[in-house]
């Protein structure tokens, strides 16, 4: 049994149908804590103590956000800057997060094929996520491939619902320890584990 902390960051959730559905899906899974950062800290004054306590209480850290300019919305960066303190998350004394698992859950407007070396975005999602990968590494966490919802601009209603139920399956898989971490690490996206 493992616990999952979803650090959700969307500055305009009221405009994102896909993310609203994804959030709905995650709320019915046991041992999942949703931490809605823009709702908690509308003025960006992050409560560092609270955030560190939440991190200590969970095994999986999911950074759930839309992809903005090939990275996350500003709140995620603010969160990293303030919460992952030297001497706590990293550095010689910073061992608080050792062994925890971290991954990104992202929605992108562009289709999957745009994120190829030959596509118009020229880099893959994994390449864009290098800073997160390295952050996890420096904090002695295990970084897992992302769960990605591509092409949100053109998603039909049934497709959105399919992604939402995939997200739910992913969370169930993580909380009930049914994931083979070694196998998972070799995947491009965690979505691949869920195509049944």
Partner 1 sequence: MNQTVLIQAMVYLASGVLFVPIAKRLGLGSVLGYLLAGVMIGPAVLGLVGDEGHDIMHFAEFGVIIMLFLVGLELEPERLWKLRTPVLGLGGLQVLLTAVLTGGLALTTGLPWQPSLALGMILAMSSTAIVLQTLNEKGLMQTAAGQNTFAVLLFQDIAVIPILAIMPLLATYPMASGPDHNAHTALLDSFPGWLRPVAVIGAVVGLVLIGRYVMRPVFRIIARTGMREVFIATALLMVASISVLMEMVGLSPALGAFVAGVVLANSEYKHELESDIDPFKGLLLGLFFISVGAAINFELIVENPLLVIGIVVVVMAAKALILAVLGKLFRLKTDQNLLFSLGLCQVGEFAFVLFSFASQNGILAKETVDLMTAVVAISMGMTPLVFLVNEKLLLPRLGTKELVDKEQDTIEENNPVIVAGFGRYGNIVGRFLRANNIGTTVLDFDSDRVDTLRKLGMKVYYGDASRYDLLKSAGAEHAKLMIIALDSPEKALDLVETVKKHFPHLEILVKAIDRDDTYDFMDAGLTHVYRETVDSSLRMGVDAMTLLGFRAYQSQRAARLFLKHDEKALAELAAVRHDRKQYFSSARRRIRELEELLSSDENDRWLKDIEDGWDPESLRNEVKQMNP
Q: Is 85 in the site for partner 1 (CB under 8 A)?
A: yes
Q: Least distance (Å) from partner 1 to the CB of residue 88?
A: 9
Query: Can you tell me which residue has the tokens 């908690």?
Result: 40
Q: Is 91 helix (H, G, I), strand (E, B) or coil?
A: coil
Q: Is 81 in the site for partner 1 (CB under 8 A)?
A: yes
Nearest to 62 by CA among 16, 26, 13: 26
CA–CA dist 109, 44 (Å, integer): 25
CA–CA dist 6, 126 (Å, integer): 20
Q: Is 194 in the site for partner 1 (CB under 8 A)?
A: no
Nearest to 2 by CA among 123, 103, 133, 145: 103
At 144, list the tokens: 């897992």
Query: Which residue's CB is nearer to partner 1, number 49 or number 117?
Result: 49
- The span of 86-94, 117-125, 131-139, 162-170 binding partner 1 (CB under 8 A) equals 86-94
Among 17, 53, 86, 153, the residue binding partner 1 under the rule CB under 8 A is 86
Q: Is 131 in the site for partner 1 (CB under 8 A)?
A: no
Q: Least distance (Å) from partner 1 to the CB of residue 87?
A: 5
Nearest to 125 by CA among 142, 102, 149: 149
CA–CA dist 64, 190 (Å, integer): 14
Q: Is 4 in the site for partner 1 (CB under 8 A)?
A: no
Q: Is 91 in the site for partner 1 (CB under 8 A)?
A: yes
Q: Least distance (Å) from partner 1 to the CB of residue 99?
A: 22
Q: How far does Cα 31 stand from its chain's mean position? A: 16
- The span of 87-95, 108-116, 140-148, 181-189 binding partner 1 (CB under 8 A) equals 87-95
Query: Can you tell me which residue has the tokens 């709702």?
Result: 39
Q: Is 84 in the site for partner 1 (CB under 8 A)?
A: yes
Residues 6+ apart with CB under 8 A from 41: 47, 75
* Binding-residue total with partner 1 (CB under 8 A): 14
Residues 43-62 that bind partner 1 (CB under 8 A): 43, 45-46, 48-49
Contact residues: partner 1, CB under 8 A? 43, 45-46, 48-49, 81-87, 91-92
């Amino acid at each position: 049994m493992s616990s999952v902390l979803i650090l959700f960051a969307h500055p305009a959730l009221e405009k994102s149908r896909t993310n609203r559905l994804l959030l709905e899906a995650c709320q019915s899974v046991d041992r999942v804590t949703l931490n809605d950062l823009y709702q908690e800290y509308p003025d960006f004054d992050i409560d560092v103590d609270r955030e560190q306590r939440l991190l200590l209480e969970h095994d999986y850290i999911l950074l759930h956000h839309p992809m903005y300019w090939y990275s996350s919305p500003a709140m995620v960066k603010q969160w990293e800057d303030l919460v992952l303190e030297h001497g706590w998350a990293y550095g010689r004394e910073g061992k608080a997060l050792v062994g925890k698992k971290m991954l990104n859950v992202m929605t992108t407007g562009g289709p999957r094929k745009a994120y190829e070396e030959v596509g118009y975005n020229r880099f893959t999602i994994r390449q864009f996520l290098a800073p997160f990968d390295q952050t996890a590494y420096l904090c002695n966490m295990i970084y897992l491939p992302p769960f990605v919802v591509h092409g949100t601009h053109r998603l039909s209603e049934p497709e959105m619902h399919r992604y939402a139920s995939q997200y739910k399956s992913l969370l169930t898989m993580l909380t009930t320890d049914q994931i083979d971490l070694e196998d998972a690490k070799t995947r491009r996206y965690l979505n691949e584990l869920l195509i049944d």
